[in-house]
Structure 1
C-alpha cells in the first residue's frame, strides 16, 4: 500500500515542476520581448529626436502690383512775371491777387511823361525830314528837266538826285524812330499774357517804374491754374515702369480722404547723379482751382505685377558666405538651399524677384547648421503667410 501511494505524489510533483518551468520560460520570453520592443521604441524615438524639426510656409503669389508712394510738388501750368518795358510812374492798377483775368486784360497803366516828350520830338523830326525830302524831290525834278536843254551839267543833276536819296533815307530813319517809340508807348499798359489768376502784385499807384526789372522784382505775376504740372522724383529702380500715359492718384493735406487723377506727360529720361532718381512730370486738371500751385502732394503709382514674384517672411532668409538664400524641402523631405534676390523689403516680409517658385516648400527660420541633403521632420502643416498690407 505504501508503495502505491508514493507514486501518485511523485507524479504530481513532477507535473508542478514542469508547469513551473514552463511559466518561468514564458516569463523570460515575455520579458525579453518587452525589452526588445522598448529598445526598438527607444531607438526610433532617439532617431526621430536626432532629425531637426522644421516649420514650412507657402510663398504668397503677388496678385496685385505694388503701390509706389512718392512726394511731389505742384506748379501752375503756365506762369508769367509781368515786368515794365517803359520808365515812368504807376498811374493805376486794376487787379489784385486772386483776381481772375482774361488774355489781354489790362492789369495796370504807367504814366510816361519822358516817353511822351520823346515821341513828340521824334514826330517833329519826322515832319522836318519829310519837308526836306519834298523840297529835294522838287529840286531834283527841275534839274532833271533842265538837263534836257543843256542848261546844267550832268554832275549837278546827279548831286541833286543824290541829295533827294539822302533826304528820303532820313525820312525812313525818322519814321522808324517814331514807330519804335509808339511801340514802346504801347507798353505803358500792362496786360495779361493769357487767361489765369493774379498770384502777385508788388507795386502801387505812384511807384517809380524802371524798365528791365530783374527776377523777383516783377510788378505782377499771372498763373494759369486750370491745370497743374506735378513734378516727382522717381527712383531709378522704378523709372522703367513709369512712362508717358501712366496714371497716378494725388492727395493733398487740405483734402483728406480725397484723391485727384494725374497722368504722366513727360520724363527726363536721365538719372540725377546726386539723388539717383528721374524727374517725371504729370498733368492734373484743376477746374475749380482747388489745388494750389507750389503746394505739396503725395503721388501714388500702381505699378504692374512682376512675373514670378512671391512673398515670404523675412525669417525664411539665410545670409551667409554663399549670399542670400532660402531653405526648401524636396519631395523626399531633404533640404535644398536656393539662392534668391530681393525685389522689395517690407520689414516683416520680402518679395523674392528670382530663385524661388510659388510651389516650393520653404522652411521658416531654418535651424543653424542645416545643409543641403539633410533630412528633417515637419513640425506642423505648411503655413500660408498673409500678403503685406
Structure 2
C-alpha cells in the first residue's frame, strides 16, 4: 500500500516534464507571387474554314461544238490562257458576210454623197425641186446609217468569233472539266465547264459569337485593351494536325449581319498561301489578336480556388505576414495563369503553394515562388474559361 502513492507521484512528475519540454507549432511556410501588372497581347482562338480568294466558273458565251480542251485538270492556269476551243467555222462565215455587207454599204456611200452635193448646187439655181433634194439627203442619211449598222454587225461577229476561244478570266488552280471534246455547249449554260480558284492568298472565315463581340467592345471602351499597339499581322493558324501554319495573316473585315441560327458574326482573315498547302474547305483554328492589355494581372492557376458558391478567391500575405482573403474577378486563362481583372492590386503577395489548412489571419513565413515553365506572354484562352 505504501508503494501506490509513490507510483502516482512518479506519473504526475513525468507528465509535468513532458508539458515543460513541448515546443510551439512551427510557422507555416508558403510560396507567394508578387502582383506586378504587365502589358500582354490578348488573343482568341476560334474555329474556321478556308475559302478561295477568288472563284471563276467557266461558261461558254456562244453556242457550238467543243473541238479541244487545252488544259490539264488540277494545274495552275494564267489569266487569258485558252481553256477550250469551240468550232469557229460558222462564226468565221458570219464575220465574212458582215464584212462584205459593210464593204457594199461603204461603196454605195460616195455616189449618194455626190448626188446630194449636185442637188444642193441645183437647188440654189432652182433647177431641182426641194422635194428632190430632201429625198437625196434622206438617201445619204440612210446610206450612212447602213454603214454604221454593218460596222456594228462586223464587231458583233468578231466578238462572237473571239468567244469561241474560252479563256481563263483569273489566274488560279483549275479543277476537273465537266465536258470533253465533241460536247455541244450553249451560251451561259447553268453547268460550268470548269472552275478556277485563286488559292494565293486564301480566305479564312471565322464565326465569332455576339457575346464575345460585345465583351471585346466593352474592354476597348473601358480602356483595358488598346488596339493601337497591334501589329498588322494579327492572325495565326493552327492546322488540323495541330501544327502552326508558318505564315501570318491579317484580319480583313467583320460582317455586319448576325447569323440568326448561330448568333454569330463572320470574321474574314487573309493568309498568304504560296505553296498551296491550304485548300478551300479545310477546318482550322484561327488565333486572332484582340488587343494589348497594358496593365494585366496574371497569377498562377494554383493560386486561385473557389468558395462554396463557386466564386474565385485567393489568399494573400499582408504586411504583418498574416493571410488575408481576396475575392477575385477572373477574366480568362492565359497559358497556365489566370488573368485577374479585379480583386488584386500591384504589390499584393498571392499564396501559390502551401495553402493546406490555411485560414485568414494565419501567421505564415512567405518565400518567392519559382515557376519552371511560366510563360505569361502567351495569351490563348482555352474553351470554357471563366468570365
Name the TM-score, length of structure 1 as normaliser. Answer: 0.69
Aligned with residue 245 of structure 1, among 229, 232, 238: 232
Distance 1:360 1:384, change over 3 A: farther
The corresponding residue for 1:143 is 119
Q: Which residue of 2 aligns with 1:15?
A: none
Contact 1:60 1:385 in 2 (8 A): no
Deviations 1:201-251 (A, max 9, x none): 22111111111133xx22122334444344444653669769661254445
Cα separation, 1, equivalents of 2:286 and 2:76: 28
Aligned to 1:292: 279
Q: Which of 42, 64, 68 is residue 92 of structure 1 equivalent to?
A: 68
What is the alpha-carbon distance in structure 1 between the residues aligned to residue 317 and residue 329 of structure 2? Answer: 19
- Describe how 1:132-211 pairs up with structure 2 within 5 A: 132-211=108-187
* Aligned with residue 295 of structure 2, among 293, 303, 307: 307
SS across alignment from 1:309: strand
Contact 2:35 2:350 in 1 (8 A): no
Once the two structures are overlaid, the 10-residue window that deviates more, 170-179 or 229-238, is: 229-238
For residue 385 of structure 1, report the CA deviation from its aligned partner.
Answer: 5.9
Partner of 1:58: 33
Higher Cα radius of gyration: 1
Q: Is the 8 A contact 1:316 1:366 kept in 2?
A: no
Q: Could you tell me the TM-score, scaled by structure 2's length?
A: 0.69
Counterpart of 2:128 in 1: which secondary structure? coil
Distance 1:304 1:312, change over 3 A: same
In the other structure, the counterpart of 2:5 is: none
Please state if 1:268 is matched with 2:248. Answer: no
Q: Does 1:219 align with 2:193?
A: yes
Cα distance change on mapping 1:75 and 1:129 into 2, 3 Å: same
Extract unaligned runs of 5+ from structure 1: 1-26
Cα distance in 1, alignment partners of residues 111 and 281 from structure 2:
65
> Which residue of 2 is the match for residue 279 of structure 1?
267
How far has the Cα of 1:262 moved from its partner? 1.9
Residue 316 (str. 1) matches residue 304 (str. 2):
yes
The match for 2:4 is none
Query: Which secondary structure state, in structure 1, belongs to the residue aligned with residue 68 of structure 2?
Result: strand
Q: Distance in 2 between matches of 1:188 and 1:313?
A: 69
Distance 1:119 1:383, change over 3 A: same
Judge conservation of contact 1:91–1:108 (CA < 8 Å) in 2: yes
Question: 5+ unaligned residues in a row in structure 2: which ranges?
Answer: 1-8, 221-226, 379-387
Residues 325-371 of structure 1: CA deviation (Å, up to 9, x unaligned): 43434223555443322121479863323322464233576879x6x
Q: Give the corresponding residue for 1:5.
A: none
Q: Separation in 2 of the partners of 1:258 and 1:341?
A: 32
Separation in 2 of the partners of 1:316 and 1:244?
32
Q: Residues 160 and 347 (structure 1 numbering): CA distance in 2 closer, same or farther, change over 3 Å? A: closer
Query: In the alignment, is the contact (CA less than 8 A) between 2:206 and 2:268 conserved in 1?
Result: yes
